[in-house]
Structure 1
């Protein structure tokens, strides 16, 4: 069995403090964001649907952090091995689901700016819900073989602690190890392409000084998406491939968890009327789409 104790030191205390800070900040921010999205936007727009699912993903991460704080603060794990595995899954799932939902939010904004009327039949709430269900189903299905793989690793007598699953020296990588880095890399590429196309469209059409703020607001969304990937998702996704990167796995895990505290900013800048009621938001969105169509 895996050794469910860890040596207490300054680094582990720092991890406990960071995860505790993320928990205390991320819980109210995402809970309030989810309440606003449900209360004022009623899940009647594609962007709102993806943002609600992103907020749920972040809240699932937040509820897994208390046990991480306890583990790094005390050096002991009071629960079962399977509890450790599933709490680890919540963290892994957050990186995957958040990166996908952030990309879908960017794609929805890309279609609204570049092809506002041509893609209205695609940008529907029904399609957004179908996509969300497919995303969650795929994420959970991948968890099944991963959890069995982690359990076999823990039962094999490796010298490890909870939340640290390292392959043996010289052990070959399985296909599942490559899943997350490949997924994140593909999604990052999609975000780079959509950012370039939206930037080109806005630079070409929005020349009126009165629309500069609107242009900056749209580009800020895509800039935040790229920042999320390059700082939070990409490093922690690739660290598991190399044995030489083991020492920085826990710091990168702490860094990746911070993304749940910044996602509420994405909601604010993505929805032109985040604080408005649904009726006011629909009116403003319709006007933006018509303006974009006129410019094209």
Structure 2
């Protein structure tokens, strides 16, 4: 078995993460600017997408350190700085999965229950949900970082995957939280997709009049792809001890896919529009 040593450069992953950073930074920065300047934040859909773009930018700013480590095989900072950088990555997985689920639920309510959900689908409720999400994630990340910072490091290099040997960290019950939460959120997205597809195909009289049904379904299909390709594999790997770099790299790709959600969610995304479809 070929094990990764603590001082072995990995130029392939340095290039891959560099490409993700080079693509994800402008895509999300421009998307955030457009959402804030050209689309009304009175729409809950826009609120969730703004927070999703912020989540992706937090991931992107952690990638330069990964590029450096994989290119040189050396971590020049403290172990606490490594934990904080790692926390940014896994916070993105958690926050992105939550905000994407919010978007799916919001689209479900807009299409299937447009009238009955009016009092729920407000920007105020959306901001409350987003704020509560960030608060929980912040508390969780700080508590995990503080706990791990008090433990002796397993190696002297950041981002080195652990192998199944005596030096590998033991799996705790907390490690099962991520795959369980991601699986539950994936199930919610599957249900939302099925209900919206059934509504659009059955032409129910009380459903919303959707101008572009293809774009609506593309949003749900893209959500499911991001979950199954980016989120679920890396979450499951947390309890398999093998912290596979390929899965981590694949998970980081979500910051490049999320901007497609913004494009498919709004007609004339690049143009200023007062009334967003299905808002």
Q: Is the TM value for this pair above 0.5?
A: yes
1:290 match: none
Distance 2:170 2:57 in 1: 34
1:184 and 2:182 correspond:
yes
Among candidates 260, 269, 274, match of residue 274 of structure 1: 269
Residue 118 of structure 1 aligns with which residue?
116
Q: Secondary structure at the match of 2:7?
A: coil
- For 2:254, the equivalent position in structure 1 comes to 259
Residues 253 and 172 of structure 1: is their aligned pair in 2 closer, same or farther, counting only changes over 3 Å? closer
Report if aligned partners of 2:13, 2:70 keep a CA contact under 8 Å in 1: yes
Which residue does the alignment assign to 1:6? 7
1:171 shift after superposition? 6.5
From 18, 31, 34, the equivalent of 1:33 is: 31
Q: How do 1:104-183 and structure 2 match up within 5 A?
A: 104-153=102-151, 155=152, 158-159=154-155, 161-164=157-160, 166=162, 169=166, 172-183=170-181
Deviations 1:253-291 (A, max 9, x none): 111001101111011112234223231x34x446xxxxx
* Range that drifts further, 116-125 or 76-85: 76-85
Under a length normalisation based on structure 1, what TM-score does the superposition of the two structures give? Answer: 0.85
171-180 or 101-110, which deviates more: 171-180
1:60–1:90: 8 Å Cα contact kept in structure 2? yes
The equivalences for 1:56-95 within 5 A come to 56-95=54-93
Please tell me whether the aligned partners of residues 17 and 69 of structure 1 are also in contact (alpha carbons under 8 angstroms). yes
Give the Cα–Cα distance (whole angstroms) in 1 for the partners of residues 76 and 169 of structure 2. Answer: 30
More off after superposition, 225-234 vs 69-78: 69-78
Maintained 8 Å contact 1:16/1:73: yes
The structure-2 alpha-carbon separation of the partners of 1:171 and 1:54, relative to structure 1 and needing over 3 Å to count, comes to: closer
Q: CA deviation at 1:222?
A: 0.4
Q: Is the 8 A contact 1:5 1:77 kept in 2?
A: no
Rounded Cα–Cα distance in structure 1 between residues aligned with 2:111 and 2:210: 14
The answer to whether the 8 Å contact 1:50/1:104 transfers is: yes
Cα distance in 2, alignment partners of residues 278 and 134 from structure 1: 29
The 1:83–1:92 alpha-carbon spacing in structure 2 relative to 1, beyond 3 Å, is: same
- Counterpart of 1:48 in structure 2 is 46
Query: Is residue 146–residue 176 contact of structure 1 (8 Å, CA) maintained in 2?
Result: no
Unaligned runs of 5+ in 2: none
Q: CA deviation at 1:99?
A: 0.5
